[in-house]
């Protein structure tokens, strides 16, 4: 049912889109991720408000996975499906919507891992929850050491001619695994468009060969947790506030992790200040400085956070001195 919500006519003003690898697909530099804050225990109106704000401000790219949503995995897809139906039925063609399968989703041997059996069924379930005929990108959420990559690729391959996904991608693969997946898909005439990798000022593993491999293969990188779940923002600079991810029951971010990193975050905040940015904006700009990175996927718990983060592209490029200072600060802390 149409909600009567009217999208902003100025939504694309000032947005510079990035090309995802050697492909025709452009993406907004900021992607909204729905891992947290879109589940059945979250405030639906708030979640809807964040998607409306994101779309009205040029975010075209929305990232989900089959298991997102708390307490019941899948509820983020169901809630996003409701938002799409209510507000964006006429705007599907202006959105990149992605989903993934690879982590635990349902009991028994066919609801986890990298088998064709799991991924094919999961994509159907995701489309059902989302209320969509197709997603733009279907990802293998992680490599499964017990399943040959060739089999996981069988499922990705099938998604494209069946019309259930326009593109396919991989996530959390190391450079060798990424190369194998790309080659296998290429052999079958399918483009492996994108790799979704964790990348931030504090987690530089993609610089150890992955970004170079993606460049060589013509794949784009979409970076997740670029704010280290809130550590690289103003969120924890003065303690752990009520309602923050670290203050709750999250198994992904605890108070010890925050306390161990508040020193480095405070020092980085000073550099951000000297650039005339917030720490969150500098953290996102730092990841986006690499041309291979087509987009940064942010999580958010409020419209204000999205507003602040969207301004990450407003300052000029980093000077070599600024990059050097960031490296020195990060290297000087144990965390």
Ligand X SMILES: NC(=O)c1ccc[n+]([C@@H]2O[C@H](COP(=O)([O-])OP(=O)(O)OC[C@H]3O[C@@H](n4cnc5c(N)ncnc54)[C@H](OP(=O)(O)O)[C@@H]3O)[C@@H](O)[C@H]2O)c1
- Taking CB under 6 A as the criterion, which residues in 155-194 touch ligand X? 171-172
Q: Among 25, 135, 219, 227, which residue sits at the site for ligand X (rule: CB under 6 A)?
A: 227
Q: Among 229, 269, 277, 295, which residue sits at the site for ligand X (rule: CB under 6 A)?
A: 229
- Taking CB under 6 A as the criterion, which residues in 135-154 touch ligand X? 141
The Cα–Cα gap between 14 and 43 comes to 31
Closest residue by Cα to residue 135 from 171, 183, 81: 81
β-strand partners of 298: 32
Beta strands in 232-325 (DSSP E): 293-298
Closest CB to ligand X among 161 and 260? 260
Q: Is residue 226 at the binding interface for ligand X, with CB under 6 A as the rule? A: yes
The Cα–Cα gap between 311 and 282 comes to 10
* Of 48-56, 104-112, 211-219, 295-303: span binding ligand X (CB under 6 A): 295-303
Q: Is residue 53 at the binding interface for ligand X, with CB under 6 A as the rule? A: no
By DSSP bridging, strand 192-198 and strand 165-171 are parallel
Do 111 and 76 touch, CB atoms closer than 8 A? no
Q: Is residue 280 at the binding interface for ligand X, with CB under 6 A as the rule? A: yes
By DSSP bridging, strand 96-101 and strand 26-27 are unpaired
The Cα–Cα gap between 217 and 22 comes to 8
Q: Is residue 20 at the binding interface for ligand X, with CB under 6 A as the rule? A: no
For ligand X, what does the binding mask look like between residues 187 and 206, x meaning CB under 6 A?
---------x----------
Helix (H, G, I), strand (E, B) or coil at 189: coil
Do 85 and 50 touch, CB atoms closer than 8 A? no
Q: Total residues contacting ligand X (rule CB under 6 A)?
A: 30
List of residues 6+ apart from 55 with CB closer than 8 A: 7, 11, 88, 91, 94, 95
CB atoms within 10 A of CB 250: 13
* Of 121-129, 291-299, 313-321, 324-332: span binding ligand X (CB under 6 A): 291-299
* Of 21-29, 128-136, 220-228, 254-262: span binding ligand X (CB under 6 A): 220-228
Least gap, CB of 284 to ligand X (angstroms): 8
Q: Is residue 298 at the binding interface for ligand X, with CB under 6 A as the rule? A: yes
Q: Is residue 101 at the binding interface for ligand X, with CB under 6 A as the rule? A: no
* Of 112-120, 185-193, 298-306, 322-330: span binding ligand X (CB under 6 A): 298-306
Least gap, CB of 226 to ligand X (angstroms): 5
């Amino acid at each position: 049912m149409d909600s009567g919500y009217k999208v902003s006519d100025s939504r694309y003003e000032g947005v510079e889109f990035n090309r995802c690898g050697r492909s025709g697909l452009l993406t907004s530099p900021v992607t909204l991720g729905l891992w947290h804050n879109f589940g059945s225990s979250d405030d639906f109106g708030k979640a809807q408000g964040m998607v409306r704000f994101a779309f009205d401000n040029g975010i075209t790219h929305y990232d989900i996975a089959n298991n997102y949503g708390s307490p019941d995995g899948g509820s983020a897809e169901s809630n996003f499906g409701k938002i799409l139906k209510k507000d964006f039925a006429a705007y599907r063609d202006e959105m990149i919507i992605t989903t993934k399968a690879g982590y635990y989703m349902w009991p028994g041997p066919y609801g986890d891992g990298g088998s064709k059996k799991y991924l094919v069924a999961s994509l159907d379930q995701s489309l059902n929850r989302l209320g969509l005929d197709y997603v733009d990108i279907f990802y293998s959420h992680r490599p499964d050491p017990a399943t040959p990559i060739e089999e996981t690729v069988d499922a990705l391959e099938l998604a494209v001619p069946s019309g259930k996904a326009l593109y396919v991608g991989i996530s959390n693969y190391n450079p060798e695994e990424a190369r194998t997946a790309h080659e296998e898909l290429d052999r079958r005439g399918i483009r492996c468009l994108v790799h979704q990798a964790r990348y931030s000022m504090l987690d530089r593993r993609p610089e150890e060969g992955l970004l170079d491999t993606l460049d060589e293969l013509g794949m784009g990188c979409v970076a997740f947790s670029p704010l280290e779940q809130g550590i690289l923002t103003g969120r924890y600079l003065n303690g752990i506030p009520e309602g923050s991810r670290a203050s709750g029951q999250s198994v992904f971010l605890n108070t010890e992790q925050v306390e161990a990193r508040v020193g480095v975050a405070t020092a980085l905040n000073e550099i951000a200040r000297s650039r005339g940015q917030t720490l969150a904006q500098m953290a996102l700009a730092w990841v986006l400085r690499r041309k291979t990175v087509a987009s940064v996927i942010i999580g958010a718990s409020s419209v204000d956070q999205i507003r602040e983060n969207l301004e990450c592209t407003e300052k000029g490029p980093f000077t070599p001195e600024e990059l050097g200072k960031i490296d020195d600060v990060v290297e000087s802390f144990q965390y």
